[in-house]
Structure 1
Amino acid sequence: MRHRLLVPAAAAACMVLAIPASAAEPSPGAPGIGDSYYPSYGNGGYDVSHYDLRLKYQPDTDRLEGTATIVARATQNLSRFNLDFALDVESVLVGGKKAAFKATGDHELEITPAGRLDSGKPFTVVVRYHGTPSEVEVGGYTAWLRTPDGGVAANEPEGAWWWYPSNDHPRDKATFDVSVAVPDGTQAISNGTLQSTTSRLGWTRYNWRSDKPQATYLATLAVGKFDVTTDTTAGGLPVINAYSKDLGANDGAARASLERTGEVADWLAGLYGPYPFNALGGYVPNVPTGYALETQTRPFYSPRQFARGANVSVVVHELAHQWYGDSVSLKDWRDIWVNEGFARYSEWLWSEKEGEGTAQELADYTYALYPADDPFWTVRPGDPGAENQFHRAVYDRGALALQALRNEIGDEDFFTILQRWPTEYRYGNASVADFRRFAEKVSGKPLAELFDTWLYTPSKPAAAAARSVALGAPKAPAEPKSWRKIQATNTVHSHGRDAHRGEEHRGH
């Protein structure tokens, strides 16, 4: 029998204040991390520090079996918590003890441990699971890409659900060990460095390690038959590129592009500071999609990226993301500009370096290209809405905003900002507002009006305003030589979800 204790209100308040956090009643962790665009993505109540994924994949049947060991720390007293996942779960252990679990919603795994998890204390979750990823749909699509000889996990903003359970939001980064057994003669490509390979009874196991904090959507897996090339950068970092053996006519152009990865990364390091990870490279599987993705240390490229010939601009774009988007990640998916505006502007700077059009010429041409009544100007790069998250305006108008900033504060402060920002927020998260405040701190200038004009006003800035920041030439500017190369990274990009639905959208 429970007895009620009646005390005066003031005394009760003191008693509440005196209760230590560790004694507070446990409660469920939130089923979402609080993202403004995707409320159900990620979860509350804990923070993950490491994922250990031990997988077995059969390309012929698309059968995936896995054991995920997740090392985490409770951020509240937990009675239960969620992971984001869509495959079939066989069992769950929390702290070595059997835990109750059930699937809820369209991608939630709700876990109830045998006992409470105390705030501030570490705990470990072991999830055993299986499934056929290409047959599992969430919201009418699967993010798992089938190839003639295997499968690929690479998508944004969600992709993890089809191959491992996670706290699926960039706000909760972790390190990764990915170990994958595949039939002999087949390879498994993932992030970071290849630690070892072992063969036994017709299966080869590849062990990959990504040793710096990584957002869950930036983890990737590709299984198939690849030609793998290795090299090192001038600074000694390993470069690992992989090409499907059945790329056909696109093979040569893909290699002519990706094999310049080390050169591009060294050039970007001169702009943005030291490369933040332990390896780099890229891979091109034989998939029918058109988008690319900045999967950490090893970007994913679709063959269509190279259908018109070599495309170094897209390599620049995805490698720029290693600083802007991967090392410094967004806080909320509405902050997508801190990823994409900078990756597009990096293409403009590469054009300037290559003598194919300065960033100013590209800005002038972009500004003139879209008339005032074009819907392009109604999309606000600083908060575009989930439906326009990968709209061309986030990229092109987003880059215009950076050129406007460059002209307002001058090259010295501008390039100081570009280099110091990835150091200031390395391996962390930041918002558009954080970047504005940082730019104001470095330049000593108030910049709220400039950011509002270029990132938040749903209309074309007036010509007078444009000229005040050296945009909008009096006469129609000539098309820069690099323009079509850069735009090729638009027309072949499709947002992963919408590509599966047959809808043309933006890329990454």
Structure 2
Amino acid sequence: MRLRTRAGLGAVTTGLATVLLASTASAAPAPGAPGAGDPYYPYAGNGGYDVAHYDIRLTYQPATDQLAGTTTILATTTQELTSFDLDFGLQVSSIRVNNAPAAFRVTRPGELEVTPVRPLAKHQPITVVVTYADTPSKVVIDGYTAWKKTPDGALAVDEPQNAQWWYPSDDHPTDKATYDVSVEVPDDVAALSTGTLVRKTKQRAGWTRWNWRSTQPQNTYATTLEVGKFEVNQSATPDGKPFTTAYDPSAGESLAAAKASVERTPEIVGFLASQFGPYPFEAEGGVVSTGLTFALEAQTRPVYSTKFFVSGANTSVVAHENAHQWFGDSVSLGRWSDIWLNEGFASYAEYLWSEHQGEGTAAELAQYAYDSHPADAPFWQVLPGDPGVAAQFDDAVYDRGAMAVQALRTAVGDEAFFAILRGWVAQHRGGDARISDFVALAEQVSGKPLRQLFQTWLFTAGKPATGPNGTVTLRSAAQPESYPSIERTHRLLAAGGSR
């Protein structure tokens, strides 16, 4: 707490009394905040506690879309609490806090207030056990459902939220945890999640339980569940990590192209590691489903729509989603307005992969994207550094965001540029950060003033000027004047796109 000083003993005495009163008042137990303070999503996340681990144990019947089970949350309070919130939308039958039944009530769709039998002390370890059952596809929160029912199962895959439809949580990227996800399903379907498959067991006829474990800090939307009649393949990467892929057989003619793309994940991850630093997680893989119109960076196992492969193999989207393992999963955004930290760098990873494959340099691709949008196009009115909720996944966040990364590379040179990227992921691994943190690091590493560059590309409406006399340059004079025609594979022509 910072206090302004005033001359005179009376002022000092008054200030001291104020501090003592404030200290006394803050010590009183109080409800935890119903949100993490994110301006885009005021009720996302919660205050008053920090989650260390989720143990999710479920049974799911695809025929009826019935989901039932128990989630156990291991957390520590960050203040004295009379009550706290969970982000959850399904019907709850009971909640226990430290083994004692707790009262609970729904304060708004997706928000559950829990009141323990007695206040919780600050820094107290707590165990919260929530038992529930519902039909997730019928649950609507803020006008939509993130649970996607498919003919043979379901997908809990979406961004910025998907947890509220299958497990209670502190649903904001700034509160990461480790996970055990155990799902019992009929024998003829698979249940896939993130991390490593540690065991498959049978406890009754006709049902199989799939047990997944994520050992690295993981945010809630990057934790997914896919149930269906997938073809599941298990092997190992060249460096010995579990490599699990799953394919929806109904992909039809696109199935071979999907496999020709996703099965190259270890190769692509190896290249990305050469650019960003060591791969941050314990497993790799991918899931391809007909039940989506987009792709999502589920931690260790991205999920792809089959639409990405209708024209043939598409390793660009694999590079995009796996770049998120560094930018978005390992280093998560501090506020949803910081989405450029995820999408700008994942989109730029596509440029790097293209450069690596000899299909056009990053500078060429960035310049082509820049030239593709006239100065009066609405595209240039979206601010990648703070796009607003409605434009959070707009093309400009991806494409103008990638141009901003190339502008940085041109401004500081390759040596400093890649030192910035590697320093960023090493410094914030397993945590979260803001755009302002990235700008500060870029200036520190490069030794150059860069705030105007970021202001221009991320926070100023209008098409930035480029060239020797412009604000920034995307390519050097030595680079060619003609640019290859590229397919913007990271965005679908149909509804949705890669995230």
- The equivalent of 1:446 in structure 2 is 449
Q: Is the 8 A contact 1:28 1:78 kept in 2?
A: yes
Structure 1 residues 463 and 198: CA distance shift in structure 2, 3 A? closer
Determine whether 1:267 maps to 2:287. no
Q: 1:10 to 1:318 in 2, by over 3 A?
A: closer
Match of 2:142 in 1: 139
Matched, 1:404 2:407: yes
Answering whether residue 496 of structure 2 is matched by residue 489 of structure 1, we say no
Q: Determine helix, strand or coil for the equivalent of 1:93.
A: strand
Q: Give me the CA root mean square deviation.
A: 2.0
Aligned to 1:480: 484
2:261 counterpart of 1:257: yes
Please name the residue that 2:59 is paired with.
56
The answer as to 2:42 corresponding to 1:36 is no
- Corresponding residue for 1:219? 223
Aligned equivalents of 1:84, 1:207: Cα separation in 2:
24
Instruction: Name 2:373's counterpart in structure 1.
Output: 370
Offset, 1:231: 2.4
1:316 aligns with 2:290: no
Q: For the residues of structure 2 that align with 1:407 and 1:12, how far apart are their CA atoms?
A: 55
Of 326, 331, 337 in structure 1, the residue corresponding to residue 340 of structure 2 is 337
The letter for the 2-side match of 1:152 is L
Question: Would the aligned equivalents of 1:232 and 1:262 in 2 still touch at CA under 8 Å?
Answer: no
Alpha-carbon deviation of 1:290?
1.5
Distance 1:375 1:427 in 2: 36
Given candidates 199, 203, 215, the residue that maps to 2:202 is 199
Match status 1:297 vs 2:300: yes
- Write the distance in 2 (CA, Å) between the matches of 1:321 and 1:466: 34
CA distance in 2, matches of 1:376, 1:20: 50
Equivalent pair of 1:364/1:473 in contact (CA under 8 Å): no
Alignment of 1:103-118 (within 5 A): 103-118=106-121
Q: Which residue of 2 aligns with 1:4?
A: none
Provide the C-alpha distance between the structure 2 equivalents of 1:179 and 1:215, rounded to a whole number of angstroms.
18
- Structure 2 counterpart of 1:348: 351
State the Cα distance separating 1:234 from its structure 2 match: 2.2
In 2: Cα distance, 1:29 partner to 1:98 partner: 19
Instruction: Report if aligned partners of 2:387, 2:397 keep a CA contact under 8 Å in 1.
Output: yes
In the other structure, the counterpart of 1:5 is: none
- Counterparts of 1:268 and 1:15, CA distance in 2: 53
Q: Distance in 2 between matches of 1:113 and 1:411?
A: 55
The answer on whether the counterparts of 1:291 and 1:493 sit within 8 Å (CA) in structure 2 is: no
Letter in 1 for 2:346: A
Give TM-score scaled by structure 1 length.
Answer: 0.92
Whole-angstrom CA distance in 2 between matches of 1:155 and 1:101:
27
Please state how far the C-alpha of 1:363 moved relative to its aligned partner. Answer: 1.5
Alignment of 1:153-164 (within 5 A): 153-164=156-167
Query: Alpha carbons of 1:469 and 1:234: their partners in 2 closer, same or farther (altered >3 Å)?
Result: farther
User: Could you state the TM-score of these two structures normalised by the residue count of structure 2?
Assistant: 0.93
Q: Relative to structure 1, is the Cα distance of residues 81 and 254 closer, same or farther in structure 2, using a 3 angstrom cutoff?
A: same
For 2:384 and 2:22, how far apart are their aligned partners in 1? 44
Contact 1:365 1:477 in 2 (8 A): no
Gaps of 5+ in 2: 1-12
User: Are residues 226 and 415 of structure 1, via their aligned partners in 2, closer, same or farther at CA, if it must alter by over 3 Å?
Assistant: same
**1-structure distance, mates of 2:249, 2:498:** 25
Of 90, 100, 105, the residue aligned with 1:97 is 100
For 1:50, what is the secondary structure of its paired residue?
strand
In structure 2, the partner of 1:240 is 244
Q: Is the 8 A contact 2:317 2:498 kept in 1?
A: no
In structure 2, what residue type is equivalent to 1:285? S
- Of all paired residues, the percent bearing the same amino acid is 54
Between the aligned partners of 1:176 and 1:494, the Cα distance in structure 2 is 31
Task: Check if 1:231 corresponds to 2:235.
Answer: yes
The aligned residue for residue 6 of structure 2 is: none
The amino acid across from 1:257 in the alignment is: S
Q: Distance in 1 between matches of 2:392 and 2:419?
A: 28
2:271 maps to a residue whose letter is W
- Which sections of structure 1, spanning at least 5 residues, go unmatched? 1-7, 496-505
Q: Is the 8 A contact 1:364 1:477 kept in 2?
A: no
Contact 2:347 2:490 in 1 (8 A): no
| AA in 1 matched with 2:239 | G
Specify whether residues 384 and 493 from structure 1 end up closer, same or farther in structure 2 by C-alpha distance, changes over 3 A only: farther
Contact in 2 for aligned 1:463/1:472 (Cα 8 Å) = no
Q: 2:34 corresponds to which letter in structure 1?
A: P
State the distance in 2 between where 1:325 and 1:26 align.
Answer: 35
Residue number in structure 2 paired with 1:425:
428
Indicate the residue corresponding to 1:391 in structure 2. Answer: 394
The amino acid of 1:58's aligned partner reads: Q
How many angstroms apart in 1 are the aligned matches of 2:62 and 2:106? 26
Distance 1:378 1:70, change over 3 A: same
Query: Is 1:208 the counterpart of 2:212 in the alignment?
Result: yes
State the match for 1:501 in structure 2: none
